[in-house]
């Protein structure tokens, strides 16, 4: 044995010990004792965002036929691509793809995989967190305004976004997915509750007397761009895939009982809840108000006051949970880079500074650009379509190489073509809406 070989072995042991310690510290891989129902409510919290409240508005830009078709097709495609991701989590024996980009690297190669997945995943997660900052702030303001009935002093939305952000400076210090399961459960319950209030209050109110189901826009360009933007809104509503591998990473796995079994059970439950939330809100909201519905249905429903105030508070609690679910993989990436690449010592100080900086960043952007609807359409098409509708299919084709013209081959190519169309068309509508809103917009209002 050469004299320095024992030294090499020691170094290797030390390195793996250090890497193990880092993996046990990082938020995604630190805790692997989640139950299947954790997967259910994490997925509900990730999926049923505040996007559900803009579905009646999306219907008013799509019309009855196309609207129902887009909702149903999206539900089927995203359930299929989610199944693919759950299956691919452990397709290499003895290895787990705990993060979306690790699966990307396996499919496309070390360098290319990172470049394909990480930018898109970051756009989605940071984008969602910024949109949720705005939603949380606006819902708090609505709660305040409904309770006050013009008796209190008017407070700017900006301040409400700051109040909402203050909660996250505290919650973002929770170490990993399992530690936020309580917050996530509360959020999942709230999403079911405010969705039920949204459609229940619409039924109670009944159809508007002169309800009009013609498309919202009157001009042809308006109709076309509105249609594109609405596609983005729907894509945003089905965007839980960006955190699915990270959620699955928290579930224990053995060769006898791989993590995909409990994970899939959770996903199916989550998708049933998604259907119970989405379809009634979209269809009943549109049935009651036609093309007069606002881009957030709770704004259209102004009575009964106490119920609308309650629903807005539920949105706030839900969005608190959703923000954390989407922030966790970002924290994981930040901390991985800081500890593994820049060799900062892992610990409380690093976590406090890195995560607080992230919360402050999303708060600042949210306060600066709070035009909610346009942002949804723009981000929805630009980044959600790839990561949700067709990236899993491309990975599946790259890894499993199904036979040409087989059912699997056809299914994946159909999803890819629809997803690419969505990615191209939706941002056009969203961008136009942002430009239209920008004319009447004042900063820090």
- Which CATH number do you get for residue 354? 1.20.1740.10
More confident residue, 438 or 165: 165
Average pLDDT of the chain is 84
**Dihedral sign (CA 15, 334, 82, 179):** positive
Per residue in 130-179, pLDDT tens?
Answer: 888 988 998 899 889 888 877 888 888 889 999 999 999 999 998 887 78
Tokens for 319? Answer: 């969005």
Q: Which of 327, 379, 369 is nearest to 124 (CA)?
A: 379
Residue 32 belongs to some domain of the structure = no
Of 34, 360, 386, residue with least CA distance to 166: 360
In a domain, 39, yes or no: no
Asked whether residue 49 is domain-assigned, the answer is yes
pLDDT band at residue 15, thresholds of 50, 70 and 90? low
**Which tokens belong to 6?**
């024992």
Q: Could you give the percent of the chain with pLDDT greater than 70?
A: 92
Domain holding 327, by residue range, is 45-438
Asked if residues 239 and 128 have their Cβ atoms less than 8 Å apart, the reply is yes
19 assigned to some structural domain: no
Task: For residue range 260-306, list pLDDT tens digits in order.
Answer: 899 999 999 999 998 998 999 999 989 988 888 877 787 777 667 88
Q: Residue 29's closest CA among 358, 336, 327, 392?
A: 336
**Is residue 11 pLDDT above 50, yes or no?**
no
* Tens-place pLDDT, residues 356-396: 999 999 999 888 876 655 666 676 667 777 888 888 999 99
Other Cβ atoms closer than 10 A to 396: 24
pLDDT of residue 9: 47
With respect to residue 93, please indicate whether it lies within any of the assigned structural domains: yes
Residue 395 within a domain:
yes
Nearest CA to 97 among 244, 225, 237? 244
Enter the tokens of residue 282.
Answer: 């979209």
The whole model's pTM is what?
A: 0.85
Give the distance, in angstroms, between the CA of residue 91 and the centroid of all CA atoms in the same chain. Answer: 25
| Residue 316 CB coordination number (10 Å) | 24
* Secondary structure of 302-315 in HEC code, one letter for each residue: CCCHHHHHHHHHHH
Task: Tell me whether residue 321 is in a domain.
Answer: yes
> Which residues are CB-contacts of 234 (< 8 A; sequence separation ≥ 6)?
55, 58, 70, 71, 74, 380
Number of structural domains (the chain) is 1
Greater model confidence, 341 or 8: 341
Confidence bin at 225 (pLDDT 50/70/90): confident
CA distances for 229 relative to 265, 295, 328, angstroms: 33, 12, 28
Cα–Cα distance measured from residue 211 to residue 223, given in angstroms and rounded to the nearest whole number: 19
ω into 304 cis (within 30 of 0):
yes
Instruction: Say yes or no to pLDDT of 115 above 80.
Output: yes
Report if residue 9 sits inside a domain.
no
């Amino acid at each position: 044995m050469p004299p320095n070989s024992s030294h090499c072995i020691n170094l290797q042991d030390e390195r793996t010990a250090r890497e193990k310690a880092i993996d046990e510290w990082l938020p995604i891989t630190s805790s692997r004792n989640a139950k299947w129902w954790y997967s259910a409510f994490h997925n509900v919290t990730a999926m049923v965002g505040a996007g559900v409240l803009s579905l009646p508005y999306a219907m008013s830009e799509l019309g009855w036929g196309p609207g129902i078709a887009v909702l149903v097709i999206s539900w089927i495609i995203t359930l299929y691509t989610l199944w693919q991701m759950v299956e691919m989590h452990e397709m290499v024996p003895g290895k787990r793809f705990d993060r979306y980009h690790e699966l990307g690297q396996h499919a496309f190669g070390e360098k290319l995989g990172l470049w394909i997945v990480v930018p898109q995943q970051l756009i989605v997660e940071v984008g969602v967190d910024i949109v949720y900052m705005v939603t949380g702030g606006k819902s708090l303001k609505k709660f305040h305004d409904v309770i006050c009935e013009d008796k209190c002093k008017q407070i700017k939305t900006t301040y409400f976004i700051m109040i909402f952000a203050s909660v996250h400076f505290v919650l973002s210090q929770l170490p990993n997915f399992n530690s936020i399961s309580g917050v996530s459960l509360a959020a999942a319950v709230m999403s079911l509750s405010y969705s039920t209030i949204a459609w229940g209050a619409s039924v109670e109110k009944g159809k508007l007397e002169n309800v009009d189901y013609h498309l919202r826009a009157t001009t042809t360009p308006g109709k076309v761009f509105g249609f594109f933007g609405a596609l983005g809104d729907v894509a945003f509503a089905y965007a839980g895939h960006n955190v699915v591998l990270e959620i699955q990473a928290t579930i224990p796995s053995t060769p006898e009982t791989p993590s995909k079994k409990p994970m899939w059970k959770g996903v199916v439950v989550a998708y049933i809840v998604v259907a119970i939330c989405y379809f009634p809100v979209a269809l009943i909201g549109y049935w009651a108000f036609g093309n007069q519905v606002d881009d957030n249905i709770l704004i259209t429903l102004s009575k009964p006051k106490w119920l609308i105030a309650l629903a807005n508070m539920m949105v706030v609690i839900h969005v608190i949970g959703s923000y954390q679910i989407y922030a966790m993989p970002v924290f994981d990436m930040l901390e991985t880079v800081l500890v593994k690449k820049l060799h900062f010592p892992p610990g409380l100080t690093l976590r406090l500074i890195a995560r607080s900086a992230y919360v402050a960043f999303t708060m600042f952007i949210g306060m600066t650009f709070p035009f909610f609807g346009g942002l949804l359409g723009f981000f929805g098409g630009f980044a959600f379509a790839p990561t949700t509708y067709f990236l899993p299919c491309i990975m599946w084709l790259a890894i499993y190489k199904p036979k040409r013209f087989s059912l699997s081959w056809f299914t994946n190519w159909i999803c890819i073509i629809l997803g690419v169309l969505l990615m191209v068309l939706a941002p056009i509508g969203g961008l136009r809406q942002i430009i239209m809103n920008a004319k009447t917009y004042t900063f820090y209002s």
